[in-house]
Amino acid sequence: MAKILLLEDDTSLNRGISLKLEKEGYEVLSAAGVSRAEEMFRENEVALIISDITMEDGDGLEFCRNIRRTSDVHLIFLTALDQEVDIVNGYDAGADDYITKPFSLMVLISKVNALMRRIGQDQEEHGQILVSGSIRVQCREMRVYKEETEILLSKKEMQLLLHFLEYPKQIISKEQILEAVWDMDGQFVDDNTVPVTISRLKKKIAGEEDYEYIKNVRGLGYLWTAEVAKK
């Protein structure tokens, strides 16, 4: 049974989310503060973290940054902070997804289930290596390298990169990316989610190289411009 760590200081909301997740078959580790959440994370093998940002005893963003120093566990922010800068800060801290309050509980559960399916798919990867230009992806280890330098990507950035590499030199629409990477039709996803994540990915894989791997095709979508070889 997969364990989900829920960090939410609103008691009634915490209980409501916990009960729904448990009905879906997950084991929920419930925390009302950052210190307790950190303790639970150290003591358990957690598959996913759902975290608020503003709490009495700490900051969810800093909590996420601390987690990212030692772990690539999936993390979803669930918060009332809904400005564009807040969303960008959330992804910059290392979040895989960002949901703003008020929210639909069914949408949250849908996102959690989709993420858990992708975790399972990641674990079943068969060791394939993908090479495109100076980019190399070792699928079993879920590691990305530019020449010999490792590039650290969030789970969403990794999923986005793998989707591009699966369809090189093909225009992929924003809607196709939402369906493939976020496993949603886009109805409940912020308009900035795809471009913000693509922008972050482009910066990380560019380095000092002048080559543009991801091209924005105006009005149509996005294009991975290099050939991809499988080894």
102 and 49 co-located in one domain = yes
85 and 184 co-located in one domain = no
pTM of structure: 0.56
74 and 152 co-located in one domain = no
From the list 194, 112, 120, 191, the residue with the least C-alpha distance to 157 is 194
Last residue of a domain, one of 123, 140, 166: 123
Q: Residue type at 142?
A: M
Last residue of a domain, one of 77, 105, 123: 123
**In whole angstroms, what is the distance from residue 88 CA to residue 95 CA?**
10
Last residue of a domain, one of 123, 148, 174: 123
22 and 84 co-located in one domain = yes
27 and 56 co-located in one domain = yes
**In whole angstroms, what is the distance from residue 69 CA to residue 71 CA?**
6
CATH code of residue 144: 1.10.10.10
CATH code of residue 113: 3.40.50.2300
Tens digits of pLDDT across the chain (231 residues): 789 999 999 999 999 999 999 999 999 999 999 999 999 999 998 989 999 999 888 899 999 999 888 888 889 999 999 898 899 999 989 898 899 988 889 989 988 988 887 766 655 544 578 999 999 998 877 889 998 899 999 888 998 999 999 999 999 999 889 888 876 544 456 668 889 999 999 999 987 777 899 999 999 999 999 999 987
pLDDT confidence of residue 184: 52
106 and 214 co-located in one domain = no
146 and 78 co-located in one domain = no
50 and 143 co-located in one domain = no
Torsion angle of C-alpha atoms 7, 11, 13, 15, degrees rounded to 10: 90
Domain span including residue 24: 3-123
213 and 190 co-located in one domain = yes
User: How many structural domains are present in the chain?
Assistant: 2
pLDDT confidence of residue 185: 45
24 and 87 co-located in one domain = yes
pLDDT confidence of residue 170: 94
From the list 65, 66, 68, 30, the residue with the least C-alpha distance to 50 is 30
